[in-house]
């Protein structure tokens, strides 16, 4: 039996096709989110990869910011529930989850069975999110997937202290104009994102193991900065950007068993 999870975020669209609630047969990420052709393209690519058609899907669950705009879903489930379910499936020892996406950051605490017992979310402001990193990458004229490499070469972490993205952008421009290296500035940008995520994690009552999902988990510089601040290792889910879609596909499997 096949089920599908689709996670329509602000920055990207993700689709996972699952066989019998266990094996991922296709996973697709398109870097365009809600309001674009991203969801349809992710769905078509995942079906093509798996050589399946939409009618083969017993149930489909949608999650993410754009989940109510996707008409083919049998059910919508919140992002908190889907990220928790997806990461717990991949990292069963996870008790604290940090998900940093394009427009929000979340910390979720789980019990030993994977139930959500507490969560906090920053969805009011771009600071501490992928959007903040995207803005800084543009100012620094580097690609988002180069940020970690620059960070790894930093000999010092320069403070980027503004809590507002617009002010932080000015701060970065000011550092650049004073000749501070991109490496040091990027380390400061990552430390700023990490401190906001850690604040959310502490509020949930931080417990080991800590695992990360979401697109920003692909940035090893942010992961290192979080690990440093929390003074513990961070488990990064394999292919972390798809964890919400995986959770949705698992919820779709539950629905399929009910019907």
With CB under 5 to 8 Å by kind, the binding choice for 12 among ligand ATP, Mg ion, none is ligand ATP
Considering the rule CB under 6 A, would residue 188 count as an interface residue with ligand ATP?
A: no
Helix (H, G, I), strand (E, B), or coil: what is residue 62?
strand
Distance CA 65, CA 149 (A): 30
Residue whose structure tokens are 């990458």 = 137
Residue 11 interacting partner from Mg ion, ligand ATP, none (CB closer than 5 to 8 Å by kind): ligand ATP
Q: How many residues bind ligand ATP (CB under 6 A)?
A: 23
36 lies in the binding site for ligand ATP (CB under 6 A): no
Residues lying near Mg ion in the complex (CB under 5 A) are found at: 9, 101
Closest of 222, 217, 256 to residue 94, by C-alpha: 217
Q: Using CB under 6 A, which of 3, 28, 30, 33 touches ligand ATP?
A: 33
Q: Tokens 């798809």 — which residue?
A: 242
Angle at 107 between CA 106 and CA 108, to 5 degrees: 115
Whole-number Å distance between alpha carbons of 156 and 158: 6
145 binds, among ligand ATP, Mg ion, none (CB under 5 to 8 A by kind): ligand ATP
Residues 180, 213 contacting (CB under 8 angstroms)? no
What is the residue whose two structure tokens read 């019998």? 20
Nearer to Mg ion, 201 or 242 (CB): 242
126 binds ligand ATP, rule: CB under 6 A: no
The enclosing H or E element of 176 equals helix 165-177
- Mark residues 39-78: x for contact with ligand ATP by CB under 6 A, - for none: -------------------------xx-------------
Give the residues lining the site for ligand ATP (CB under 6 A).
9-12, 33, 64-65, 101-104, 130-131, 133-134, 144-145, 214-216, 218-219, 241
């Amino acid at each position: 039996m096949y089920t599908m999870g689709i996670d329509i975020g602000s920055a990207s669209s993700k689709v996972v096709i699952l066989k019998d609630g266990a094996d991922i047969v296709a996973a697709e990420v398109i870097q365009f989110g809600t309001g674009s052709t991203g969801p349809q393209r992710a769905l078509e690519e995942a079906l093509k990869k798996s050589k399946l058609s939409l009618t083969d899907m017993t149930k489909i669950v949608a999650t993410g910011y754009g989940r109510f705009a996707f008409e083919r879903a049998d059910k919508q489930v919140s992002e908190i529930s889907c990220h928790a379910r997806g990461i717990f499936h991949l990292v069963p020892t996870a008790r604290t989850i940090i998900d940093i996406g394009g427009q929000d950051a979340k910390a979720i605490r789980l019990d030993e069975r994977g139930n959500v017992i507490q969560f906090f979310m920053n969805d009011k402001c771009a600071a501490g999110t992928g959007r903040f990193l995207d803005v800084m990458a543009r100012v620094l004229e580097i690609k988002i997937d180069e940020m970690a490499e620059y960070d790894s070469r930093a000999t010092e972490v320069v403070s980027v202290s503004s809590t507002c993205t617009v002010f932080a952008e000015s701060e970065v421009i000011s550092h650049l104009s004073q000749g501070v290296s991109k490496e040091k500035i990027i380390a400061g940008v990552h430390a700023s994102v990490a401190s906001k995520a850690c604040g959310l994690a502490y509020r949930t009552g931080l417990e080991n193991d800590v695992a990360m999902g979401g697109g920003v988990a692909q940035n090893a510089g942010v992961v290192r900065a979080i690990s440093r601040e929390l003074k513990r290792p961070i488990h990064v889910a394999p292919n972390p950007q798809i964890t919400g879609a995986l959770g949705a596909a698992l919820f779709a499997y539950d629905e399929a068993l009910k019907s």
